[in-house]
Structure 1
Amino acid sequence: MSRPPTFTPPPGVAAHALHTARGDFATLDARPAGEARGTVLLLPGFTGSKEDFIALLRPIADAGYRAVSVDGRGQYESAGPADNESPYAQGELASDVLAQAAAVGGGPLHLLGHSLGGQIARAAVLRAPGTGAGTFASLTLMSSGPAQISPSQQARAKMLTDALAVLSMAEAWEAIQAHDPPEDTDLDGDEALRERWLRHSPAQLITTGKQLCAEPDRVTELAATPLPKHVISGERDDTWPVAWLDDMAKRLRAHRTVITGAEHSPNTDRPEETAAALLAFWEDSHLGRA
């Protein structure tokens, strides 16, 4: 489970609803002081939320980009049905992203997805007119692999989805804490993490958990899209092994960044280094070098 350093937006970051043709989505929105050079749309991973990017938002905005992180349908503060899986099919979530992109607007739009969010981002690019060109200026896959997650993580995801089929969200939280005690964190206790968990839709978690265990390899299809691509990860990852991410980057002919000292969530493990790497890639994308 991702652990943002805080759930409180820093100065200059606004929390508001993004109104789209497919409904409203909760966002954190950081704008630069002057005219924006472009916009970055950030999608969180499984069990995560927009707050997972909270340490990146001001550095991105201070570099001249508008940064918008979003709770997807059924994630934390974005509404979604609790007992109907069909709205969380990957195609539906990808269409949500295209609607978010249209609503955000604002010049060159760089798309970033972390973990599950990366696979949804990939699906959105592949659904977009012109396979993403004209809709997105670039695609960044952060700790998000070529296909299904590793066998050990598939077992964990299946355990969770099976539990959610019979337990309430509160009961599932207690079971998770008993099975996987939380690590030390700077967050004021785990109450904010628990509140986020309780506000997720169980149907969203069940459906997307199944997706992570069955996602096909679409790297060849994505490689054919005319977008600059970036694969970024920590130096250790048990969800998709780093060797898998290295190979995917080669197949995509993508820019590759490994953040020293980070694991599955470089956005929270090493935010300063991660922001610098992202900004360097987007700068190269603007200049046509990526």
Structure 2
Amino acid sequence: MEKRTTTAGLSVITLSGGDRGTVLLLHGLAGSATEMVPLARGIAAAGYRVLVPDQRGHGHSTRRPDDVSRAAYVRDAVALLDDGPAWLVGQSMGAHTAMLTAAARPDLCRGLVIIEGGVGGGGGDYPERLGKWFASWPVPFADEAAARRFLGDAPIADAWIAGLERRADGLWPRFDADVMAAAIREVAAVARGAERDRVTAPVLTILGEHGTLDPAEVRGPAVVVAGAGHDVHLDRPDETLRLVLAFVSGG
């Protein structure tokens, strides 16, 4: 069974696959629960309950939240785990959130899967550059074809296009550029190596062969998925599912 609910401004898709445990699946910056649903369905089919939120500022959740601090994202994750410990699986910024949650609440983490995520830090002008790029989108797009011409045909573009919101004047992304810049600025501001070192649960790190993560952000060994970029779960969905299931079934 698959359903979407909204609580305290956070929209969550729940897939009830069985009683083998709960998996919390967190998308990355400018992503959405929708892009994670194929992975979630595979996990649920193996007998797990899967929670897939639109993180604050994204998707169907509150578009302009008052707080986009790392602590706020962690609070959201913790609030979803009212049934006890779960496997935490995140990609990019979602992996950073999952890592901080595992460090802050070890009692709620059975295992941690980090997909193209690291400890953050690095600073620089990356958040501003990224925000400017999102702000450069010529929205509203007249239709999906117009969106495709601008965004291209990579798997991440497919995910963005699938998630566009239809309004009277055309198609709009389900996020605001300045909110995205503010959210990723929090990730880039401080390297959280100390928090990563406090994680006591088993950890699986998955990287794309052509990923964009700074190697300095990675802690510990990693599995590298051939042919994948930063969006490993979209570029190589079958291999991502295989790796996640092997990890959670062994944890």
- Give the TM-score, by structure 2 length: 0.81
Secondary structure, counterpart of 1:81 in structure 2:
coil
Match of 1:114 in 2: 91
Match of 1:205 in 2: 180
Indicate yes or no: 2:251 matched with 1:266: no
- 1:171: Cα distance to partner? 4.9
Indicate yes or no: 2:32 matched with 1:49: yes
8 Å contact from structure 2 (residues 25, 40) kept in 1: no
Match of 1:221 in 2: 195
Distance 2:248 2:110 in 1: 9
Match of 1:97 in 2: 77
- 1:283: Cα distance to partner? 1.6
Q: Which amino acid aligns with 1:27?
A: V
- 1:121: Cα distance to partner? 1.6
What do the CA deviations read for 1:141-190 (whole angstroms, capped 9, x no partner)?
11002223697xx54x31243577xx69865989xx99x94222588897
Distance 1:123 1:94 in 2: 7
8 Å contact from structure 2 (residues 16, 48) kept in 1: yes
Distance 2:87 2:41 in 1: 16
Match of 1:66 in 2: 49
User: Across the two proteins, how many residue pairs are aligned to each other?
Assistant: 241
Secondary structure, counterpart of 1:88 in structure 2:
coil
What do the CA deviations read for 1:236-262 (whole angstroms, capped 9, x no partner)?
112x14x446x5124xxxxx3222221
Indicate yes or no: 2:96 matched with 1:139: no
Match of 2:168 in 1: none
What do the CA deviations read for 1:266-286 (whole angstroms, capped 9, x no partner)?
11111111101011111221x
Q: Which amino acid aligns with 2:5?
A: A
Q: Report the CA distance shift for 1:189/1:244 in structure 2 as closer, same or farther (over 3 A).
A: closer
- 1:113: Cα distance to partner? 1.3
8 Å contact from structure 2 (residues 111, 202) kept in 1: yes
Q: Which amino acid aligns with 1:264?
A: H
Distance 2:136 2:123 in 1: 27
Distance 2:137 2:32 in 1: 16
What do the CA deviations read for 1:92-135 (whole angstroms, capped 9, x no partner)?
11111111122xx2x5411111101111222222332xxx1x21
List gaps (5 residues or longer) in structure 1. Answer: 1-11, 251-255, 286-290
8 Å contact from structure 1 (residues 47, 197) kept in 2: no
Indicate yes or no: 2:5 matched with 1:17: yes
- 1:209: Cα distance to partner? 2.6
Match of 2:219 in 1: 248
Distance 1:31 1:224 in 2: 31
Q: CA RMSD of the aligned region, Å?
A: 3.2
Indicate yes or no: 2:59 matched with 1:76: yes
Q: Report the CA distance shift for 1:51/1:168 in structure 2 as closer, same or farther (over 3 A).
A: same
Distance 2:207 2:159 in 1: 27
8 Å contact from structure 2 (residues 13, 51) kept in 1: yes
Match of 1:124 in 2: 101
Match of 1:4 in 2: none
Q: Report the CA distance shift for 1:244/1:201 in structure 2 as closer, same or farther (over 3 A).
A: same
Secondary structure, counterpart of 1:278 in structure 2:
helix
Secondary structure, counterpart of 2:240 in structure 1:
helix
Q: Report the CA distance shift for 1:169/1:15 in structure 2 as closer, same or farther (over 3 A).
A: farther
Q: Report the CA distance shift for 1:189/1:144 in structure 2 as closer, same or farther (over 3 A).
A: closer
Match of 2:223 in 1: 257
Q: Which amino acid aligns with 1:248?
A: R
Indicate yes or no: 2:22 matched with 1:39: yes
List gaps (5 residues or longer) in structure 2. Answer: 166-170
Q: Which amino acid aligns with 1:16?
A: R
Distance 1:227 1:41 in 2: 15
Aligned mate of 1:192, from 162, 167, 170: 162
- 1:192: Cα distance to partner? 3.3
